[in-house]
């Protein structure tokens, strides 16, 4: 699998739908082999958009979706809800919207603190045994949560917020690297413009700050698979080109030092 994925969250599903479809198709043309979506993104509208753009899917393409957030709050607002009935319903909806018989990678969007973890992972495991889910992943988890989850199911991916300037989840990345679990950082380039050092390295390489931020992630650990998102083709092409950016050891060390406690 190519180590630069695509986050579909920012694809518009209304007035700019044609543009969104063009972006999704261009991502595949550029060799992207993993696209990330979720039930939360438009209540499934994002999943439907990807199917409209890309079905029938290329053999090498994996579309991963996330479940466990639902409009079940007191006023119909979104909230964490990973009760077994909700998870099963959202998986069935995703299968229908994506037009597939199995979701190759299904991620729990967040761990629901009001539902026993064994019930959440147990439900996903049952769906896996039934052939409706290929592999199970998690999103926004701590080391302790990941450890407990791995006692209940085989976890193949973790999707946490992480970037060159945001390393709160460095301990989680370390566990993933040791266990061979794919680490999919979301919001991997958002803070790129906040660093003069980042801009300086970009100038040295003739690249953009966003490309340098992505190149740093790719060099950080072999288990990292960034999923930058955008609704514009030009930005998409810029992100994908980051795979060709190579940092020198000295440049990498300068970027490592941007966050206290960063290691080279």
Q: Which two tokens stand for residue 79?
A: 């909230």
Q: For residue 88, which of 119, 122, 124, 116 has the smallest C-alpha distance?
A: 124
Contact between 39 and 93 (Cβ < 8 Å): yes
Burial of 93 (0-12, 13-18, 19+ CB in 10 A): middle
Active-site entry in 41, 55, 57, 162: 41
Q: For residue 255, which of 205, 183, 184, 186 has the smallest C-alpha distance?
A: 205
Look up 41 and say whether it is catalytic.
yes
Burial of 28 (0-12, 13-18, 19+ CB in 10 A): middle
Q: Which two tokens stand for residue 220?
A: 């950080």
Residues 6+ positions from 62 with CB-CB distance below 8 Å: 1, 33, 34, 35, 104, 105
Evaluate the omega torsion of the peptide bond into residue 56 and state whether it is cis, within 30 degrees of 0: yes
Residues 6+ positions from 106 with CB-CB distance below 8 Å: 64, 65, 66, 67, 91, 94, 124, 127, 133, 134, 135, 136, 137
Report the distance separating Cα 14 and Cα 178, nearest Å: 42
Helix (H), strand (E) at residue 123: helix 117-129
Report the distance separating Cα 200 and Cα 214, nearest Å: 15
Q: Which positions are annotated as active-site residues?
A: 41
């Amino acid at each position: 699998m190519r180590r630069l994925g695509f986050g579909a969250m920012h694809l518009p599903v209304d007035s700019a739908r044609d543009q969104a479809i063009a972006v999704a198709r261009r991502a595949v043309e550029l060799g992207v082999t993993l696209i990330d979506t979720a039930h939360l993104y438009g209540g499934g509208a994002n999943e439907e958009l990807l199917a409209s753009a890309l079905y029938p899917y290329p053999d090498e393409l994996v579309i991963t979706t996330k479940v466990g957030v639902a409009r079940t709050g007191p006023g119909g607002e979104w909230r964490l809800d990973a009760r077994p009935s909700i998870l099963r319903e959202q998986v069935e909806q995703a299968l229908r919207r994506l037009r597939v018989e199995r979701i190759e990678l299904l991620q729990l969007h967040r761990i629901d603190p009001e539902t026993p973890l064994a019930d959440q992972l147990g439900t996903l495991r049952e769906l896996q045994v039934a052939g409706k889910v290929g592999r199970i992943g998690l999103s926004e988890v701590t080391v302790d949560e990941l450890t407990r989850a791995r006692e209940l199911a085989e976890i193949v991916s973790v999707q946490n917020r992480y970037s060159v300037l945001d390393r709160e989840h460095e301990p989680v990345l370390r566990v993933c690297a040791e266990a061979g679990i794919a680490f999919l950082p979301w919001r991997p380039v958002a803070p790129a413009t906040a660093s003069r050092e980042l801009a300086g390295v970009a100038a040295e390489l003739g690249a953009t700050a966003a490309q340098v931020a992505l190149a740093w992630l790719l060099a950080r650990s072999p288990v990292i698979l960034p999923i930058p998102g955008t609704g514009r083709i030009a930005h998409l092409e810029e992100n994908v080109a980051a795979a060709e950016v190579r940092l020198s050891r000295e440049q990498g060390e300068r970027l490592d030092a941007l966050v206290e406690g960063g290691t080279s």
